[in-house]
Structure 1
Amino acid sequence: MKKILIVLLLTFGSLAVSAQDSELTWHTNIDKAMAISNKEKKPLMLFFTGSDWCGWCIRLQKEVFFKKEFVKWAKDNVVLVELDFPRNKQLEPSLQQQNYSLQNAFRVQGYPTVWFVNSETKEGKTNFTQLGSTGYVAGGPEAWISGANQILANNKKG
């Protein structure tokens, strides 16, 4: 009985560790995300989504963003920002205003849309340098990451 208990504890313990490894931080505050992006010298990945109604957004998350390959890639390459436009839940007004402002700035007309950008703040004004955009890509994390890597590689600062 003790052996079974030990095996169960070890199994659940390793699951907890692997769950922690697979967790990503999706920022919702663009200012905080920009500060991290500039500090870590990584571009922002802006994910425009309708989290509770957009089927393609949900599919992109399930097929790509929740996979370990994407988690590893994202931790190494980008600062994640989720800009949500839900229908069944209310965002706080400042977050809603921020998301709509960014949606207009990037001319987002459909979901999911993912923009890769660098940001810079000068004299109180934020400027975004658009590196490229994508959306849902069939083929799982490998296909999506390949496209994202192309966008990032085309914009490496030399």
Structure 2
Amino acid sequence: MKRLLLVGTIVFLSAAFVRADSNWLTNYDEAKTKAKSDNKFLLLDFTGSDWCGWCKRLKAEVFSKPQFQDYAAKNLVLVELDFPRAKPQTQEVKKQNMQLASQYRIEGFPTIVVLNADGQKIGELGYMEGGAEAFIAAIEKLRKS
């Protein structure tokens, strides 16, 4: 019985972690189509998820917070463009991410590029103090400019 409870708990916690990241897409073309059809802005997160300290802080202090997740669900299509050192990626994803980094002239991590529903760049952000509230305010300022 204890073993069954342990297995159930592990499955439940695993599902929670998957669900938390399931709002993030990795295919830019798919995300762009979704943004256009849903009339939402695109948030491109250029990150080094397994080595970049500021990227990890941004995820922990902003992206993982319910306040940001609720805001994003209503207003954004989220795209993770990762440049990991150890985490495996397909060649297709690596190529796409490199092309987008070149297109948007990414020079450091994390860099957040915000695009309107038509795919036009409206602004760029990085890590900032203040958590989800400050980050959402910065996105709103870009959206209204």
With the shorter chain as reference, the TM-score category is: 0.7 to 0.9
Q: Which runs of 5+ in 2 are unaligned?
A: 1-8
Number of the residue aligned with 1:36: 34
Q: How does 1:1-158 map to 2 (within 5 A)?
A: 23=20, 24-118=22-116, 120=118, 128-154=119-145
TM-score, normalization by structure 2: 0.84
Kindly state the Cα deviation for residue 119 of structure 1 after the two structures are TM-superposed: 5.7
Amino acid at match of 1:98: Q
- After superposition, the CA RMSD in angstroms is 1.9
Show CA shifts across 1:130-155 (max 9, x none).
1101010101111111111101111x
Kindly state the Cα deviation for residue 91 of structure 1 after the two structures are TM-superposed: 1.0
Amino acid at match of 1:35: T
Show CA shifts across 1:31-78 (max 9, x none).
111111011011110000000000000000000100010001101111
Number of the residue aligned with 2:3: none
Number of the residue aligned with 1:9: none
Aligned length: 131
TM-score, normalization by structure 1: 0.77
Structure number with the higher helix fraction is 2
Q: Work out whether residues 40 and 117 of structure 2, in 8 Å CA contact, stay in contact via their aligned partners in 1.
A: no
Q: Work out whether residues 23 and 78 of structure 2, in 8 Å CA contact, stay in contact via their aligned partners in 1.
A: yes
Mapped partners of 1:60, 1:80: distance in 2: 14
Mapped partners of 2:55, 2:36: distance in 1: 27
Task: Choose 1 or 2 for highest CA Rg.
Answer: 1
Structure 1 consecutive aligned stretches of length 4 or more whose deviation exceeds 2 Å: none
Mapped partners of 2:116, 2:121: distance in 1: 7
Mapped partners of 2:82, 2:131: distance in 1: 22
